[in-house]
Structure 1
Amino acid sequence: MFVRTERTWCLFVRLKRSCRATVLSYLSGQTEKPPTPFPTFLRQYGSEAIKDVVDMSQFPAENIRNFSIIAHVDHGKSTLADRLLEITGTIAKTAQNKQVLDKLQVERERGITVKAQTASLFYNQEGTNYLLNLIDTPGHVDFSYEVSRSLSACQGVLLVVDANEGIQAQTVANFYLAFEAQLSIIPVINKIDLKNADPERVEKQIEKVFDIPQEDCIRISAKLGTNVERILQAVIERIPPPAVSVHDPLKALVFDSTFDHYRGVIANIALFGGEVRKGRKITSAYTKKTYEVNEVGILTPSERPTHKLYAGQVGYLIAGMKEITEAQIGDTLYFHNQPVEPLPGFKSAKSMVFAGMYPIDQSEYGNLKSAIEKLTLNDSSVTVHRDSSLALGAGWRLGFLGLLHMEVFNQRLEQEYNASVILTAPTVPYKAVLSSAKLIKSRRAVQKDLVYIDDHRIMMKYLFPLNEIVVDFYDALKSLSSGYASFDYEDAGYQAADLVKMEILLNGNAVEELITIVHKDKVYKEGKALCERLRDIIPRQLFEIAIQAAVGSKIIARETVKAYRKNVLAKCYGGDITRKMKLLKRQAEGKKKLRKIGNVEVPRDAFITVLKRQPDK
């Protein structure tokens, strides 16, 4: 809040204690008017000393625009966000500005957005100062819950479409999320600088699929900055201001949150009424607990404290919430003793993939428990239930929105909390039935619809069993289509199927973490493939390892990991044949005993690898 440059700070500490207290009171927002007489050093260095303190009262609701950027994966959302930050002067324009809002290490390594990020932009148009609150969202289907939560704080969206790729699966899914939320939609055609770009074709697709006139589309190159300023003008002209009033009681929606080791929970809030500042007491509609506000501010994109936040604005709030369970996504905050009707919140995320997670060492259980709690605060779409395994000990059963979501969660645990875990094979939920109907295609899919978007693009709708698509369908689709096809899915409920439980046995002992539910028509093929992959992954031992796939008491497939061989007769040069026979017999008995008591260890990364299907030949 206070810019502590060497010269300014030295002058500040020389002030009388009473004067310092007055200045800090003003800078922290406890008093709204500057101290009189203003200290000499602040008159001289005022712009430097208080440049981080923004007076948010100069942005009434009619001058506020809240919007998100939504798109399919790799259509240029993050690059567009970088250009908007530069044009508005929020960040300095440098060659290093790449994925500025992607703050997580996993986002930069994978080149994708997995966490929605907020930034407040200040823009002057025709002499009027506007506050533009931007939320950059993920594009992969596994993180669609991030998109739906972000849209709750907005009145409009920028729907970005690649000028070369055109409309793809997640483009359609995100459009309907915004359409159902009754938000204004501004179509943006990006990457017009590409050699094979065809913006006219994409404009026709947008008009046909989304019923948005071609003339409403804005053609840009986010990479080069071409035409990007038109977007800011369109945001002001086409997206309505929030319909709120500062005269109403405080009503703040918690649409995201993070955990800081020193300050506790940092809640991202959108104000639907009233105002909030440091020192006020607020109450959670969910927990009914009361807190005192320690700090409020905006994100630019780093945290920037302010005196107050007003209705229609988006920012952050810190109120001494120390427990993870105190900050619920979708909660409503209001002033103590001034209760309001809670906001609708969010529809709960429906987990599609489940996996067991266990500490490598049970002594690390407490640390891993704390890490999972903090990370699930930041990613509320993950469901957590305590679990235990005879082989792996105490752990948890976690639910994710997809396989990528699971892998990113595991990677964030390792990078952000230095936690190493054992992750079991991913599975999907089932309901057991007594009888079932057959599905007959290779992935048991039933076609529901087929729409020609244009001469080169088709949108097909199928009803799939979830376990047929959740592990490797996306990878196989990209491989078969050379990367051109895209994919999105949503829950369609339970359907009857002829399923069996398949177990994997290592030397006759079932591996609990590799138990899978398989369709009866594919059980032999799946069992054989699993055994073959385990044979290649499990390291050789001093004893032979039998790998078997079983349905009930019936063995349907078997592979063997050969034992290390040792020539016990190497030093026998002639002599009694009976001595050689005794050595061979002793070796066989030793291997038999090792096979009974030896432990077979499956490497940690094997659980996902063994379930990956090989391309059909």
Structure 2
Amino acid sequence: MSDLKHIRNFSIVAHIDHGKSTLADRMLELTATIEKRAMREQYLDSMELERERGITIKMKPVRMKYRVNDQDYILNLIDTPGHIDFSYEVSRALKAVEGVILLVDSTQGVQAQTLTTLAMAREANLVVVPVVSKIDSPLARIAEVKKEMANTLGCSESDILEVSGKTGTGVDELLKTIIERVPAPVSSEVTEGTFRGLIFDFHYSNHTGVIVYMRVFDGSVSAKDALQFCAAQQKFSPIEVGIFSPSETKADQISAGEIGYLVTGIKTPGIASVGDTVISVKHPLAPLEGYSQPRPVVWASLYPSTQDDFNSLRQALSRLKLSDSSLSFEEESSGSLGRGFRCGFLGMLHLEIVTERLRREFDLELVVTSPSVIYEIELRNGKKVTAYSPMQFPDHGLIAKIYEPITEVKIIAPSDYVSSVMPLLYDHEANVTTTETWSDNRTSIGLTMPLRELMRNFFDEIKSATSGFASLSYTLLGTAPAEVVKLELFVAEESVPAFARVVSRRRVEHEAEAAVEKLRSILPRQMFTTKIQGFALGRIISSRTLSAMKKDVTQHMYGGDITRKMKLREKQKKGKKKMAERGRVNISHDVFLKMVQKE
């Protein structure tokens, strides 16, 4: 059993691509947790997608041993993602530690997500160790960035450490500073036989069932001890307990203050949950405060490309949810696309990562509909309804008011690019609330804007307008009245629900024209003249006509009176008219796929 005063639990938080994983690599190397011959870049990023994109998606715990002044210390590090979409992962990691390393890239300075993660650390009352990274870069602005950090944190510049994750400079001093500044964990219960731990993550194994990752707050646990999940009221005995060094390593026991794992042997889904407390059955303690449930920000429907894969998709989503607790899904069906799932995500990158994992890890071909947000609708008869897809929107004449999610956005960009950013803010219905010019020729812009506009490619457009220099973070504020309408597409005067979408009132004409033109270019010609129309605000806004396929009914005639040909053509015209009155257009699956795919 480790002495509590010789344990330090900490996490690395930073804006995306500020060098968290590289710094973690050097720490693993310096503490000899990994042999030099086994070392590779981004060692803790084990997922193929993480290594390919160079970003951290899942938090990773690891235990290191470090000797200072002839005393061995145990350092439990949790490496966290930097992207705003994965901030729920960061918040869970912060509940399991006593301190954080706040990393800032010396070539970029304080970025939008730096401020967000700092606010989360302060809210959790954690000790913040400020660090400037990438000091070996020829573009490093160490003095300027340290001054910027000192102003942001309200600390002295001498408190800010300088490190290089690439060369290892300053990492030794950083580890010593962590031991000095980060407090040792404290256990409130010292009674023999007690145990209490908080689950901050888990994953599923086909052989051993659910494996929970936990921070032990009180007592100790060994294999075969009688334990219980507080929320699920499920009793179990762990098959194995262990630590992360950095792979799962079996141990005799894990004690208060340590971070480790339990192999539960439970294969039933829904029993283990993030934020639940595991306690001893013999000496039960009160559950710890867990995590708030993440609220989905973006909704999109996932359909298998063939209905034979529906059950495979259900199993794949259930399996993914075991390792990604922020994913939510429910079954739905569409007349045109068949059965599928309505899924909730924390952002556009989260949606992209989940769909990519479904394709790679489960070999599924998917149809992903356009992302949408949740709308609260007040009807003229006083009733209130919630719509998270265009198909659930009532008719225009029944709606009194619509409310949509609003976000508070912070953009930090070089001052030279502000003139390029402002037109984009107008296009995306943003209201600028604050502007602040910093000493290093950068400007911070605070604004509020609808969440649907943030999801309409806003981040990519801002990056393009600022040559990639801008950074962005956002938080949900609540709801506000929305100027949106439902745009429907009619084919042969029949509405096609799968093509419906919710668009801004001021963009409805443009969106209707574009959608109708796209469908006209995709839809095969029919046996009769087909009208394709965009319908919104209770009227037809755009229209195109798809001409009918025609057979030359006079091809067998050579010469003769012209009236014979006219009679046959008139007969054909009457047949086409009758067909248009009675006929229906069957839209093929391929047409639906092409319409929902982004250009």
Q: Output one character per residue of 1:157-201: Cα deviation in whole Å (capped at 9) or x when no partner.
A: 111111111111111101101111011111221122222210111
Q: Which range moved further: 196-205 or 570-579?
A: 570-579
Structure 1 counterpart of 2:200, from 255, 271, 275: 255
Q: Could you tell me how far 1:390 is from its partner in structure 2?
A: 2.0
User: CA 1:539–1:501 in structure 2 vs 1: closer, same or farther (change >3 Å)?
Assistant: closer
User: Within the alignment, does 1:599 sit opposite 2:542 as a pair?
Assistant: no
Q: Distance in 2 between matches of 1:427 and 1:148?
A: 25
**Does the 8 Å CA contact 1:120/1:298 hold for their aligned counterparts?**
yes
Aligned length: 551
Matched-pair identity in %: 36
What is the distance in 2 between the residues matched to 1:318 and 1:151?
23
**Structure 1 counterpart of 2:435:** 450
Shift of the 401–566 alpha-carbon distance from structure 1 to 2, 3 Å rule, reads same
CA offset at residue 364 of structure 1? 2.7
Q: TM-score, normalised by structure 2?
A: 0.85
Cα separation, 2, equivalents of 1:321 and 1:137? 27
Q: CA deviation at 1:549?
A: 2.1
Residues 562-585 of structure 1: per-residue CA shift (max 9 Å, x gap): 78x898599879545656985898
Q: Which residue of 2 aligns with 1:481?
A: 466
Of 255, 263, 269, the residue aligned with 1:324 is 269
1:471-512: per-residue Cα shift (whole Å, max 9, x none)? 311001101111111111111101112332111334444343
Query: Over aligned residue pairs, what C-alpha RMSD do you find?
Result: 2.9
Contact conserved, 2:488 with 2:535, CA < 8 A, in 1? Answer: yes
> Partner of 1:41 in structure 2?
none
Q: Distance in 1 between matches of 2:198 and 2:449?
A: 36
Q: Alpha-carbon deviations, 1:12-52, whole Å to 9, x = none?
A: xxxxxxxxxxxxxxxxxxxxxxxxxxxxxxxxxxxxxxxxx
Aligned partners of 1:196, 1:116: CA distance in 2, in Å?
29
Partners in 2 of 1:197 and 1:457 — Cα distance? 16
Q: Deviations over 1:69-114 (max 9, x none)?
A: 1111111111111111111112223596122111112212222111
Q: How does 1:190-229 map to 2 (within 5 A)?
A: 190-229=133-172
Contact 1:426 1:608 in 2 (8 A): no
Change (3 A) 1:358 1:463: same
Match of 1:4 in 2: none
Question: Are residues 190 and 376 of structure 1, via their aligned partners in 2, closer, same or farther at CA, if it must alter by over 3 Å?
Answer: same
Aligned match of 1:389: 334
Deviates more, 1:583-592 or 1:358-367: 583-592
Distance 1:559 1:166 in 2: 52
Letter in 1 for 2:98: Q
Structure-2 change in CA distance of 1:588 and 1:217 (3 Å): farther
Q: Could you tell me which amino acid in structure 2 is paired with residue 443 of structure 1?
A: H
Please name the residue that 2:393 is paired with.
none
- 1:243 match: 186
Matched residue, 1:609: 598
Matched residues in 2 for 1:490 and 1:552: separation?
31
Q: CA deviation at 1:542?
A: 6.2
For 1:411, give the aligned amino acid: E
Structure 2 residue 545 is matched with structure 1 residue 557: no
Of the three residues 426, 445, 452, the one matched with 1:467 is 452
Alignment correspondent of 2:348: 403
In structure 1, distance between residues paired with 2:59 and 2:112: 20
Residue pair 1:246, 1:311 contacting (<8 A) in 2 also: no
Matched with 2:278 is 333
TM-score (norm 1): 0.83
Segments of 5+ residues of structure 2 without an aligned counterpart are 379-399, 407-424
1:80 aligns with 2:23: yes
Whose strand proportion is higher, 1 or 2? Answer: 2
Mapping 1:66-77, distance limit 5 Å? 66-77=9-20
Deviation at 1:561, TM superposition (A): 6.7
1:5-24 alignment, distance < 5 Å: none
Closer/same/farther in 2, CA of residues 554 and 84 from structure 1, 3 Å limit? same
- Helix, strand or coil for the counterpart of 2:201? strand
Equivalence for 1:234:
177
| Secondary structure, aligned partner of 1:142 | helix
User: C-alpha separation between the residues in 1 aligned to 2:284 and 2:554?
Assistant: 87
For residues 99 and 393 of structure 1, the distance between their equivalents in structure 2, rounded to whole angstroms, comes to 41
Counterpart code for 2:364: A
Please list, as runs of the form range in 1=range in 2, the aligned pairs for 1:286-435 lying within 5 A after superposition. 286-433=231-378, 434-435=400-401
Instruction: Determine which of 262, 268, 285 is the counterpart of 2:230.
Output: 285
Single out whichever of 576-585 and 240-249 deviates more from structure 2.
Answer: 576-585
User: Any conservation in 2 of the 1:245–1:274 contact (CA below 8 Å)?
Assistant: no
Contact 1:362 1:394 in 2 (8 A): yes
Distance 1:452 1:111 in 2: 31
The separation in 1 between residues aligned to 2:310 and 2:256, in whole angstroms, is 43
Q: Is the 8 A contact 2:370 2:596 kept in 1?
A: yes
SS at match of 1:154: coil
Residue 342 of structure 1: SS of its match in structure 2? coil
Q: What is the rounded CA distance, in whole Å, between the counterparts of 1:414 and 1:209 in structure 2?
A: 42
What is the alpha-carbon distance in structure 2 between the residues aligned to residue 545 and residue 102 of structure 1? 53
Deviates more, 1:354-363 or 1:592-601: 592-601
Greater Cα shift, 499-508 or 158-167 = 499-508
TM-fit CA distance, 1:333: 0.3
Query: What's 1:23 paired with?
Result: none
SS in 2 for 1:102: coil
Residue aligned with 2:584, SS: helix
CA change 1:195–1:251 in 2 (3 A) is same
* Pair 1:99-2:42 in alignment: yes
Match of 2:113, as an amino acid?
Q
Give the secondary-structure state (helix, strand or coil) at the position aligned to 2:91: helix
In the alignment, the residues of structure 1 paired with residue 541 and residue 293 of structure 2 have an alpha-carbon distance, to the nearest angstrom, of 40
Greater CA drift, 375-384 or 505-514 = 505-514
Q: Which amino acid aligns with 1:228?
A: V
**Mean alpha-carbon deviation: is it higher for 310-319 or for 79-88?**
79-88
Going from structure 1 to structure 2, the CA distance change for 1:449 and 1:316 (only over 3 Å counts) comes to same
- Aligned residue runs from structure 1 range 140-219, under 5 A: 140-219=83-162
Contact 2:491 2:585 in 1 (8 A): no
Q: CA deviation at 1:453?
A: 3.4
Please state whether the residue corresponding to 1:80 is helix, strand or coil: helix
**Structure 1 match to 2:497:** 512
Distance 1:214 1:153 in 2: 28
Q: Call closer, same or farther: CA 1:294–1:437 in 2, change over 3 Å.
A: closer
SS of the counterpart of 1:492?
A: strand
Stretch deviating more after TM superposition (380-389 or 584-593): 584-593
State the alpha-carbon separation in 1 of the partners of residues 238 and 371 from structure 2: 42
Tell me if the contact between 1:260 and 1:266 (Cα under 8 Å) persists in the aligned partners: yes
1:435·1:498 contact (CA, 8 Å) conserved in 2? no
